[in-house]
Each structure stands twice: as structure tokens, then as C-alpha cells.
């Protein structure tokens, strides 16, 4: 069968519907749905439905993740955007944890989560679309497929025709049970059809986020072996090698992708990270330049800002965070703009700028009240000691998303532990972080990025247990490849020095402080309360006399030539 997709026609429809405020994703979904519906061989008796996972604003003006799925009774051949009602996706996905759900309750829940309460009923197979991970899902009643599968040996025949690139679900009436079974079949896909790279790619990414980097490496390696043109395999493999501190092998993967003439995006983030690791600013800028006008442009601006913060270039970092927010908004990425501002608030809090952190948090939540901005904002609020607001966000997220593993096993326990530390309860903080242990070395946007380890180290430090604190900080310092731009690498060196001092090892404390000063923040005044000394770069002035409680006042500092 030949594709009937014509790029010019698709773009024309995007432009036409765009004038009416319809998003690109939904306009493309309308275009491709009509292509399917126009061929009666694909939609026997008009059957089938389509969906797209995207983002839209709700009636309160908040941006949310939704599933736009064909409404019951809509004609695929002539469908309009209104025929694909938007349903809140997070709430639909939570239903997968249920053991059973009646048809009546399923319909009520789907209607209760419609963005437009006046929209038509979503398809009876809405949950099937929601439980599958793909952005665009097409469901047709193809005559050709039915003629194969509706045979006594239909599964064998289909496997021969489709060369094992398929999943077969036993007959189940449409609804909750069918959706659950389809999701289970997808999970079994890797074992049943080992030649397909998609489950290997997805599991490599999942294990990377979870901190199980050897498993990620195995899955990414197998995906690349199965398909040397799989761009996701190059992304996952290079990122995993970095997380394992195997930087030469990560570079070799990048070189292999270039030799295979893969598109630049397949190695874009790896090339930037590796260039940062070796201090190659020219190579970093080349990667940034190639993102101009693309959706990766604000992402690379965030990478740059985070790297500058880790090097103590606070002013430059703030400029790049501002630029990243502007770029995200220009590209229509409202939620990501809020996440960027909340991330910036976290850096301000870590580095001793609580007033700036509070302003950034307020800006983030003003831009978007969606899940991810609230998660990052709760973390930042806890760091600046705004216990009440942080706790309110934590309680709300916990109620709304009880089945989100990363949220409830990493993000929220870390915030709760920070709050306990703020209340001088280190033992409670340590207990709260027990649940994070399997995920604490996670990398990437959904990864823990050292935080459970760092807060546990800080809790042991507050409890005056230098040995256990030092062991936690050592975990961070032994895994720099997880995130070379994290300020927690520098702060772990500082924490290690304090842990040595608590143990009475002044010599090791002094060495650790000097190492921190030399490697991470070469122009910052270092208060060393535990060892009763202060190390100051000779070019730094304005820090004396020291505050009695060793508070920092960067606004008074100035530098002279060395």
C-alpha cells in the first residue's frame, strides 16, 4: 500500500486551521485521519478511530497534556478538529492501575475529564489510545488485515505477512479490559518480536532514567545492533556511556553516527555534553548554532545556563535562562518555559540567592500550573524554606497522581526530606529517602540527578555522622557523567570537606576544601567553619570581615587581576 501523505497538503491544512487557533498536532491529526477515512478498504463499515497526544489549554487557561481522540460517531473521511475531543491524559493513564472498570464508570470518567464539557463522547476505545505510548495512534478496520486474522490460523498467517512486526491481542470487547490487554502485549513485544527496536529503545531510556545504566546499555546496544539506522539507539547509547563515565566510548558512538550519516539530532545532546566535559566552548557553540529555529533551541539554552551555573558564572547563567524562557514561549512551549524558570529558581536557592529564587518560582507558576512546573517549584520552595507552599504543592501532586512512580518514589520524597531538614529532623529525612534508593542514580529529565543522595548526605551531616555523609557524597563524585552540569558535584566536594572535619580529620578537610576551590568555584570565598579556617582566592576582595554566622554576601565582592 502506498502512502497518500503529501507534505504540501498537510502544511496547507496546518496553516488553514492555525488561523482558527488549532494546534499543529491536531491539524496534522485531522489531515491523516481524513486520509485513512477516505479509503473504504481501511475503514470497513466506517470503523476505526485515531488520536494524538498533545497539549492544550483548559477552561482555566492552564496548559495540560491531553489525548485528542475521535469522538463517537464522527466520520473519519470528513472529520473536523471538534470531532477529536481533548481528554486529560494523566487521569486516563492512572486508570491503568485499576483491576477492573465498568463500561458505565469508564464513560463517566472520560466525560469528566473532557477539556470541553460540551464536546462529543470520546471513542469507546479512548483508554486503548491512552495506554499506548505513541504520540499518534491509528486504529483501522482494514479489509486486508481482517481477511488474514479472521482465519483458524490467523495469528500464524499475520506473523508471516508482517515479519513479526506486530502485536496480537485476543478478542475482547472494546473498553477498559481491551486497553489493559493491549498495554500488556506491548510490554511483551520485546520478547515476542526481538527484531523490532522500539521496545529496546524505550527500555533503554527507562533504565537510564531509573539509574540502571548497565541495563540501559544492554538495551541500547541491542537496538543499534538490530538497526544501525535507529537514531534513538545512538542517543540512548551515547547518553548511557556518559552516565557510566565512559566518555571515550560515548564519543565513539557519536563518531559512528556521523559515519552512518545519521541526522544531526541523533547526537546533538551527546555532542554538547561531551564538549562541555572537555571544556571545548567552540564545539558547544556549534551545537547551539545548529538548533536555531528548532524546538531544541530552548533546550540547548538551558544546557548552556546550567553549565555556566556549575562553573560559577551566575550572571551569564541568568541571561541564558531568560533567553531559554523566551525561546520556549516563541515556540509555543508554555509548560517548558515554566519548567525552565522553576529550574532557575532551584539554582538560585542552591547558590544562596533566596530572593531571586522566590521571584523565579512565582514567574514559573504564573506561566503554567501543570504537573512538571509544580514539581520543580515544590523542590525550589523547599530549598528556600517556604515550607507551607512547598507542602501544599506536594500534597496536591500526591493526590492528583498517586500512580506516577517517579513522582512518588523520587521527586516528592526528596522535597519532603528537604522540608524535614529545614525543621532540623535529619533522621526523618533519611527515612523518607529510603524509597528513592533504587532510582537515585537516575539521569535525564526524569532522573533523580543526584538529589536523593545529596539530601541524604546533608542529613547525615546535620546528624554529625561524618562517615555516612562522606559515603553519600562519594557516590555523587564517583558518577560525574550522570550530569556534568550539576552544581551538586561541586557541593558534594564541599560536603565531603565538612564530613572530614566532623570526623576530626582537619588535613583531609583542608585538602577537600582546596580541591573544591580549585576545581569547581575558583573565585568564591569558602567558609570552613568546622576546620576553623577560611580559604580565599587571592584575587577576591570584599569578603572581610566575615559574618559571625558565616553568611555569604556576594554583592560586596570584587576581584583584581591575579
Read out DSSP for 344-388? HHHHHHHTT-HHHHHHHHHHHHHH--SHHHHHHHHHHHHHTT-HH
Nearby residues of 322 by Cβ (< 8 Å), 6 or more positions away: none
Tell me, what's the pLDDT at 205? Answer: 84
CB–CB of 490/310 below 8 Å?
Answer: yes
Tell me, what's the pLDDT at 183? Answer: 61
Q: Which of 319, 348, 324 is nearest to 337 (CA)?
A: 324
The Cα–Cα gap between 484 and 561 comes to: 28
How far the first Cα of the chain sits from its last, in Å, is 72
For the chain, helix (H) and strand (E) counts, in that order, are: 27, 8
Give average pLDDT by consecutive 10-residue segment, the chain, 562 residues: 84 92 93 89 76 90 91 84 93 82 81 90 88 87 80 74 66 64 66 74 84 93 92 93 96 94 86 94 94 90 93 89 94 88 92 90 92 92 94 92 80 96 94 94 91 96 94 95 92 88 84 64 40 43 43 49 49
Burial 106-118 (b: 16+ CB within 10 A, else e): bbebbeebbbeee
Backbone φ and ψ of 481, nearest 5°: -70, -15
CB–CB of 131/180 below 8 Å?
Answer: yes
3-state secondary structure of 3: coil
* Helix, strand, coil distribution of the chain in percent, nearest 5: 60, 5, 30
The Cα–Cα gap between 493 and 103 comes to: 57
CB–CB of 465/457 below 8 Å?
Answer: no
Cell triple for residue 70? 475521535
Tell me, what's the pLDDT at 486? Answer: 92
The Cα–Cα gap between 418 and 456 comes to: 9
In degrees, to the nearest 5, what angle opens at C-alpha 349 toward C-alphas 469 and 495?
20
The Cα–Cα gap between 106 and 131 comes to: 14
Residue 81 CB-half CA count within 13 A: 17
Enter the pTM of the model. 0.65
The Cα–Cα gap between 374 and 10 comes to: 35
Read out DSSP for 30-42? HHHHHHHHT-TTT
Question: Taking the domains of the chain in order of start, what are their residue ranges?
Answer: 7-192
In degrees, to the nearest 5, what angle opens at C-alpha 479 toward C-alphas 417 and 374?
40
Tell me, what's the pLDDT at 545? Answer: 47
Architecture of domain 7-192: 3-Layer(aba) Sandwich (3.40)
Cell triple for residue 482? 550522570
The Cα–Cα gap between 52 and 37 comes to: 16
Q: What is the pLDDT of residues 451-503, one digit of tens each?
A: 999 999 999 999 999 999 999 999 999 999 999 999 899 889 888 888 988 88
Amino acid at each position: 500500500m502506498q502512502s497518500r501523505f503529501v507534505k504540501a497538503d498537510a502544511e496547507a491544512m496546518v496553516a488553514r486551521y492555525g488561523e482558527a487557533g488549532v494546534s499543529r498536532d491536531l491539524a496534522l491529526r485531522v489531515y491523516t485521519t481524513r486520509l485513512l477515512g477516505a479509503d473504504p478498504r481501511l475503514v470497513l463499515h466506517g470503523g476505526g478511530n485515531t488520536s494524538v497526544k498533545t497539549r492544550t489549554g483548559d477552561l482555566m487557561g492552564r496548559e495540560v497534556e491531553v489525548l485528542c481522540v475521535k469522538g463517537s460517531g464522527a466520520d473519519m473521511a470528513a472529520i473536523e478538529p471538534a470531532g477529536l475531543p481533548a481528554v486529560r491524559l494523566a487521569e486516563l493513564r492512572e486508570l491503568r492501575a485499576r483491576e477492573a472498570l465498568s463500561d458505565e464508570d469508564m464513560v463517566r470518567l472520560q466525560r469528566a475529564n473532557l477539556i470541553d464539557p460540551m464536546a462529543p463522547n470520546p471513542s469507546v476505545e479512548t483508554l486503548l489510545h491512552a495506554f499506548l505510548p505513541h504520540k499518534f495512534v491509528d486504529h483501522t478496520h482494514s479489509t486486508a488485515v481482517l481477511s488474514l486474522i479472521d482465519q483458524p490460523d490467523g495469528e500464524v498467517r499475520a506473523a508471516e505477512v508482517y515479519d513479526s512486526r506486530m502485536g496480537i491481542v485476543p478478542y475482547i470487547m472494546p473498553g477498559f479490559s481491551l486497553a489493559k490487554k493491549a498495554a500488556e502485549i506491548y510490554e511483551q513485544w520485546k520478547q515476542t518480536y526481538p527484531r523490532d527496536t522500539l521496545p529496546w529503545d524505550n527500555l533503554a531510556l527507562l533504565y537510564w532514567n531509573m539509574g540502571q545504566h548497565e541495563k540501559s546499555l544492554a538495551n541500547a546496544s541491542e537496538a543499534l545492533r538490530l538497526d544501525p539506522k535507529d537514531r534513538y539507539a545512538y542517543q540512548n547509547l551515547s547518553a548511557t556511556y556518559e552516565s557510566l563515565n565512559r566518555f571515550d566510548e560515548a564519543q565513539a558512538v557519536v563518531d559512528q553516527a556521523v559515519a552512518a550519516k545519521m541526522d544531526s539530532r541523533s547526537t546533538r545532546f551527546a555532542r554538547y555534553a561531551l564538549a562541555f566535559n572537555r571544556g571545548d566552548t567552540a564545539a558547544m557553540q556549534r551545537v547551539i548554532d545548529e538548533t536555531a529555529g528548532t524546538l531544541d533551541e530552548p533546550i540547548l539554552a538551558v544546557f548552556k545556563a546550567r553549565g555556566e551555573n556549575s562553573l560559577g558564572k551566575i550572571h551569564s547563567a541568568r541571561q541564558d535562562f531568560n533567553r531559554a524562557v523566551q525561546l520556549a514561549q516563541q515556540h509555543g512551549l508554555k509548560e517548558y518555559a515554566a519548567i525552565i524558570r522553576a529550574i532557575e529558581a532551584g539554582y538560585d536557592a542552591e547558590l544562596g540567592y533566596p530572593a531571586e529564587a522566590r521571584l523565579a518560582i512565582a514567574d514559573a507558576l504564573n506561566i503554567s500550573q501543570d504537573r512538571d512546573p509544580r514539581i520543580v517549584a515544590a523542590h525550589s520552595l523547599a530549598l528556600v524554606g517556604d515550607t507551607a507552599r512547598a507542602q501544599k504543592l506536594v500534597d496536591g501532586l500526591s493526590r492528583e497522581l498517586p500512580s506516577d512512580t517517579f513522582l512518588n518514589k523520587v521527586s516528592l520524597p526528596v522535597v519532603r526530606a528537604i522540608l524535614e531538614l529545614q525543621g532540623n529532623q535529619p533522621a526523618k529525612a533519611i527515612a523518607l529517602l529510603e524509597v528513592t534508593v533504587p532510582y537515585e542514580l537516575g539521569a535525564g529529565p526524569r532522573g533523580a540527578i543526584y538529589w536523593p543522595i545529596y539530601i541524604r548526605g546533608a542529613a547525615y551531616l546535620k546528624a554529625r555522622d561524618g562517615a555516612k555523609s562522606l559515603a553519600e557524597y562519594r557516590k555523587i563524585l564517583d558518577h560525574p557523567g550522570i550530569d556534568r552540569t550539576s552544581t551538586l558535584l561541586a557541593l558534594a566536594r564541599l560536603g565531603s570537606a565538612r564530613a572530614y572535619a566532623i570526623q576530626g580529620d582537619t588535613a583531609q578537610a583542608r585538602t577537600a576544601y582546596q580541591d573544591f576551590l580549585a576545581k569547581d568555584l575558583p573565585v568564591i570565598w569558602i567558609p570552613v567553619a568546622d576546620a576553623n579556617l577560611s580559604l580565599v582566592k587571592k584575587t577576591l576582595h570584599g569578603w572581610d570581615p566575615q559574618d559571625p554566622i558565616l553568611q555569604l554576601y556576594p554583592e560586596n565582592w570584587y576581584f583584581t587581576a591575579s
